[in-house]
Amino acid sequence: MGQRMVVLGSACALSSANRDNTFLLFDSPGGGLLIDCAGSPFHKLLKVGGDPGKLRGVILTHAHPDHIYGLPSLIHELWLWGREEPFYIYADVRSQRAARTLIGLFDLWDKPLPLELVPIPQEEGFLLLDTEEYTIYTTPVRHLGPTNAVRVIPKIGQRVVTYSSDTRPCAELVELAKGTDLLFLECTAEEPHRVHLAPEQAGEIAQEAGAKELILVHYLESMAQDPEGTIARVRKFYEGPVRLAQDLEAYEL
């Protein structure tokens, strides 16, 4: 099996009957990563054919509830499943603090599952991981509190992926996303907003970055009810393919 990016959830902070909060699985033969950790992560990992034994860890983009609340459930189920390999939690200082609190609340530090907290500094183009299978960079973006976008460069697959996390328009995101093949952008606002993107702004970012394909995530239920209208708003500024992500769909890299 090659590498793939799987959308485990596509909704904004307010989920719906059909879509869970946004988080992703970067799946790689030697060990992939979750990017954020929303609802029922262990269940969803199994549902999309992921291997809990090969999951290296999780990248927490920021400390808001919809991006982090599934972490103690994941750790608990990995322990029950019998995992013994270290599990890495990559996070900025604020997200580390939230992760420590959640893990401690359920006494999960005491379980025989080695947990390692790895800091993500607020540094543009930070090299987070470089393995035989992939390279991952992070860059701070503009949201409420420290937040990092993520760029995954596969060495097995052919397509580079960038995920914005939650953000308003910013040059840092455009720079990280330059030339990306698959650009996963949040789209949480109907109109320009101080901490989120509207469809037109998502289109502008994708066009400026030269992204080959744009996938909207973390989008409103009103947009899910009118996908053609949402895409039309994006197309005013972006010339490439556009789609609204759906839960549990996979993109081969």
Please indicate, yes or no, if residue 231 is contained in any of the structural domains: yes
Output the pLDDT for position 16: 96
Please indicate, yes or no, if residue 16 is contained in any of the structural domains: yes
Instruction: Give the domain range for residue 191.
Output: 4-248
The total domain count for the chain is: 1
Angle between helices 199-209 and 227-235 (to 10 degrees): 50
End-to-end CA distance of the chain: 11
Q: Does pTM top 0.75 for this prediction?
A: yes
Of 151, 187, 138, 137, whose CA–CA distance to 167 is shortest?
187
- CATH number for the domain harbouring residue 17: 3.60.15.10
221 in Cβ contact with 230 (< 8 Å): no
CA gap 152, 204 in Å, rounded: 21
Please indicate, yes or no, if residue 109 is contained in any of the structural domains: yes
Output the pLDDT for position 15: 96
Please indicate, yes or no, if residue 203 is contained in any of the structural domains: yes
Please indicate, yes or no, if residue 11 is contained in any of the structural domains: yes
Please indicate, yes or no, if residue 72 is contained in any of the structural domains: yes
Please indicate, yes or no, if residue 244 is contained in any of the structural domains: yes
DSSP calls for the chain:
---EEEEEE-B-SS--SS-PBPEEEEE-TT--EEES--SSHHHHHHHTT--TTT--EEEE----HHHHTTHHHHHHHHHHHT--S-EEEEE-HHHHHHHHHHHHHTTGGGSSS-EEEEE--S-TTEEEEE-SSEEEEEEE-SSSSS-EEEEEEESSSS--EEE--S--S-HHHHHHHTT-SEEEEEE--SS--SSS--HHHHHHHHHHHT-SEEEEEEE-HHHHH-HHHHHHHHHTT--S-EEE--TT-EEE-
Output the pLDDT for position 21: 98
Please indicate, yes or no, if residue 253 is contained in any of the structural domains: no
Output the pLDDT for position 45: 97
Compute mean pLDDT per 10 residues along the chain, 253 residues long, and list them.
94 96 97 96 97 96 96 97 95 97 95 95 97 97 92 96 96 98 96 89 98 98 96 97 98 97
